[in-house]
Amino acid sequence: MSARSLVRSPVSCSAVNECFTYNSRRSRSFYQCSNTMKLQRPQVAQMLLPRKLRKSTRLQTSLFTQRRISSNCCSDLSTTYTEELPNYLAINVLQDQSDAKQENIRKVLVILNPYSGFRSSREVFYKKVQSTLKLSGFAMEVVETAYAGHAKELASTVDFSTCPDGIICVGGDGVVNEVLNGLLGRDDLNEALQLPIGIVPAGSDNSLVWTVLGIRDPVSAATALAKGGFTPIDVFAVKWIQAGVTHFGLTASYCGFVADVIQLSEKFRLQLGPFRYVIAGLLKFLSLPQYRFEVDYMPLSPERNPKPKSSNENFHDQLSDGSKVKRSTQMDGNTGDNWVTRKGEFLGILVCNHFCKPAQGLLSPVVAPKAQHDDGSLDLILVHGSGRLRLFCFFVAYQFCWHLLLPFVEYVKVKEVKIRPVGSTHSGCGVDGELLQAEGQPEWHCSLLPSQGRLLGRHPRT
């Protein structure tokens, strides 16, 4: 027999229920109408209970008796009084609460990348996160990735009825990117767009969750997930024009030095974990090539395009040619006649979707201070020129967030960017830590899909 029926049986009489069921609508007048009645209620309860239960009620009163202290502003009896609700009512309340929690169960798919960061994702999840999520009502199916691309495959094929409340990624920005691309490549795009992505940081950097949600440790991430809520985020698309291939991102896209460092760092992933970026950066710095690009960008003009629409139709417009972003589609319907062209040597080209705050590092600088994850624009940073001295200056200035003051750095809010490597410049383009390799002389086209992403959790300040 359940605890509930054991406790309820002695008080099944309707008169008693009438006396003791707390009714918020009538509580004040009903309980305050008679001083006598108010004082006698606990005694009546004792009388109606069987002898054994009366004793246990008295003994356990500190554990299960609810005290309701109400201020009395209209009665002449007292200014404050205490109602004692008998213990069985308190138990019923607890039981009802747990019933309600049953209904609030959130079913999610957890995708865990055991190779992220220091390869500690398993430990992070099972030791620091799982119990918090379970206690807060998450029903989780955990799948560990077995190979690169597995997370994308899972997100593109999962039956949404098994995880209607989202997909939680345990790992770095790369696994989040795979999940995003898996979801946005699906035929049932409407449902896929509704599915939020949760992040438990266990990767090398996790800049996305740190910048957007202000979280950089797994315990805080679990708390944010438990608290619930969503954060809308712009998604950007990088299309390799010649091949018609589109890759989506949430953080940043880049060409030049940073893309080369990402590519080289993969060689040291197993040996160095997150330190691979430092070593690859040093090596690339010492063997710095010249990068030549042609860049076209369409600046954001606030007076003509203050806030882009963020409806699903907009997204479908842009994907209507089979996951390929249409050239003609502008966020505000402009025909695209105000493109600005830059051509020459660049140390780097960065297209940021949020202000990109690295989770590691001592000074915690930000790459694009004016960028917001939901502002409907991309922030373009062009580092003009070439040479180690210039790169060194940029890097040092960046540590103090002065890099945008340098005369060879151009910073502009844009709607779209087209990037074409020129001459012998390599043809890779990075998106959220992943490198998209292309053959020949490719053209990359970055455009924005405003507020089409949803992250699980909210920034503590919102």
Ligand X SMILES: Nc1ncnc2c1ncn2[C@@H]1O[C@H](COP(=O)(O)OP(=O)(O)OP(=O)(O)O)[C@@H](O)[C@H]1O
Which residue, 42 or 172, has its beta carbon nearer to ligand X?
A: 172
Q: How far is the CB of 145 from ligand X (least distance, A)?
A: 3
Collapse the DSSP code of 309 into the 3-class scheme (helix H, G, I; strand E, B; otherwise coil) and give the result.
coil
The count of other CB atoms within 10 Å of the CB of residue 354 is 23
Residues 415-433: b if buried by 16+ CB within 10 A, e if exposed: bbbbbbbeeebebbbbbbb
Q: Which residue is nearest to ligand X (CB)?
A: 172
Which residue, 201 or 365, has its beta carbon nearer to ligand X?
A: 201
By residue count, the chain amounts to 462
Q: Choose, from 173, 260, 296, 432, the residue flagged as catalytic.
A: 173
The binding site for ligand X (CB under 6 A) comprises 113, 115-117, 145-150, 171-175, 178, 203-206, 433-434
Which residue, 262 or 368, has its beta carbon nearer to ligand X?
A: 262
Structure tokens at 28: 């004040």
Distance CA 385, CA 292 (A): 9
Tell me whether residue 59 is exposed, middle or buried, using C-beta atoms within 10 angstroms of its C-beta: 0 to 12, 13 to 18, 19 or more.
exposed
Beta bridge partners of 125: none
Q: Phi-psi category of 252—alpha, beta or left, where left has phi over 0 and alpha has psi -120 to 50?
A: beta
Structure tokens at 256: 């030049």
Angstrom distances, CA of residue 307 to CA of 34, 169, 314, 453: 61, 30, 13, 17
Reply yes or no on whether 173 is catalytic.
yes
Which residue, 171 or 365, has its beta carbon nearer to ligand X?
A: 171
Which residue, 294 or 434, has its beta carbon nearer to ligand X?
A: 434
Collapse the DSSP code of 377 into the 3-class scheme (helix H, G, I; strand E, B; otherwise coil) and give the result.
coil
Distance CA 221, CA 217 (A): 6
Tell me the catalytic residues: 173
